[in-house]
Amino acid sequence: MNQFQYNKANEPHSAVKLVAKDPDAHFLAGGTNLIDLMKMGVVNPTKLVDINHLPFSKIEKLPHGLRIGALVSNSDVADSELVKAGFPLLSQAINAGASPQLRNMATVGGNLMQRTRCPYFFDTTLPCNKRKPGSGCGALEGINRMHAIFGASDQCIAVNPSDMNVAMRALNATVHVSGPKGARGIPIADFHRLPGEQPELDNTLKNGELITAVELPYSAFNKNLSYLKIRDRTSYAFALVSAAVALHLEGETIKEARLAMGGVAHKPWRLSAAEEFLKGKMVSEGNFRQAAQIAMKGAKAYQYNQFKLKLAPNTLIQSLRIASGIAAS
């Protein structure tokens, strides 16, 4: 591990200023991802700016929704009565991720920034355009079992590993940031990027911008829901495929649906066309299967992840069954 400068920030402006003037500086909160990257030599910061003393550790009830500070731990979010009452999908998703020990340390802001677990990204002896632009994508012709089936490019087929991000995407979260040019809100749909020609960029944050909070708008999606995560083992493991489903039901009619997938793309993957199909439809196995077929349009698999072309729609169907109550009947 290379030597680096350590700074403790006592207020947001100084934290932003310290990082903005050094392109190799990083904010440090829980460190559950960053420290691993440093140990592996994937990231070599010249400066770490500790933000744990900044005032971003509250969950606040607002007239229009909930504001969750960027430094709130994943465990505190998942266990919050406000979250469980208004946004239980988020609580389910967070509890499906990592281990209790990691959830105790990981923060909301850090989880939003979480980087891919692609082995070609973590192994500095292998080619990876995300780690070293222009070096190639080893996963394209390599072991790509965990990789994307949506939104990939010939530059990168890595996936976003977060469970929390999938639920945030389904719930239309807004990410609030502060930077050298002031504060702004970024819809979660626009926060994470697809790889395109610049796979080294995971998100749309500008230089020096610091995540301060996430806001979730109140909605009717707090009763009929399911976060289903398929993985190699039920203990701590990343998703092969996950499906976040939230339904607004009136009797047996789906008034509106929110659907998102994880483990399938460089960003949390919203299934807008399938949502539109389900609107106004009856709860039924046939409609769920048609929605899953629509959701899979444009999917492309690689040598070792062909199974995801069946696993993904089946996961979505089962999550729809659970959310609607069909699975329990």
CATH number for the domain harbouring residue 24: 3.30.43.10
Instruction: State mean pLDDT over 49-59.
Output: 98
Question: d(Cα 248, Cα 54) in Å, to the nearest integer?
Answer: 37
| Dist. CA 171–CA 152, nearest whole Å | 24
pLDDT tier for residue 30 given thresholds of 50, 70 and 90:
very high
pLDDT at 235: 83
Predicted confidence at residue 328, as pLDDT, reads 67
Structural domain range at position 262: 224-328
Provide the whole-model pTM.
0.97
Q: Residue 13 domain-assigned?
A: yes
User: Three-state SS for 90?
Assistant: helix
Q: Please report, as a single letter, which amino acid is at residue 252.
A: E
Pairing mode of beta strands 182-187, 224-230: unpaired
Q: Does 187 reside within a domain?
A: no
Q: What is the pLDDT of residue 1?
A: 62
pLDDT in tens, 295-328: 999 999 999 999 999 999 999 999 999 999 997 6
CA distance 22 to 74: 29
What is the distance between the alpha carbons of residues 5 and 2, in angstroms, rounded to a whole number? 10
Distance CA 242, CA 225 (A): 13
Residue type, 169: R
- The helix/strand/coil state of 66 is strand
**Are the CB atoms for 261 and 244 separated by under 8 Å?**
yes
Distance of CA 156 to the CA centre of its chain: 17
With pLDDT > 70 as the criterion, what percentage of the chain qualifies?
A: 99
Q: For residue 302, is it within any domain?
A: yes
In a domain, 217, yes or no: no
Identify whether 150 is part of a domain.
no
Both tokens assigned to 87: 């946004």
What average pLDDT is seen over the chain? Answer: 97
Residue 236 has what pLDDT? 87
**pLDDT, tens digit, 9 for 90 and up, residues 133-189:** 999 999 999 999 999 999 999 999 999 999 999 999 999 999 999 999 999 999 999
Count of alpha carbons within 13 angstroms of residue 268, beta-carbon side: 30
Which of 37, 52, 67 is at the close of a domain?
A: 52
Whether 81 is in a domain gets the answer no
Q: What is the CATH number of the domain that holds 261?
A: 3.30.390.50
CA–CA dist 306, 308 (Å, integer): 5
Q: What percent of the chain has pLDDT over 90?
A: 97
- When divided into structural domains, the chain yields a total of 2
Please indicate, yes or no, if residue 139 is contained in any of the structural domains.
no
pLDDT tens column, 196-228: 999 999 999 999 999 999 999 999 999 999 999
Say if 231 falls within a structural domain.
yes
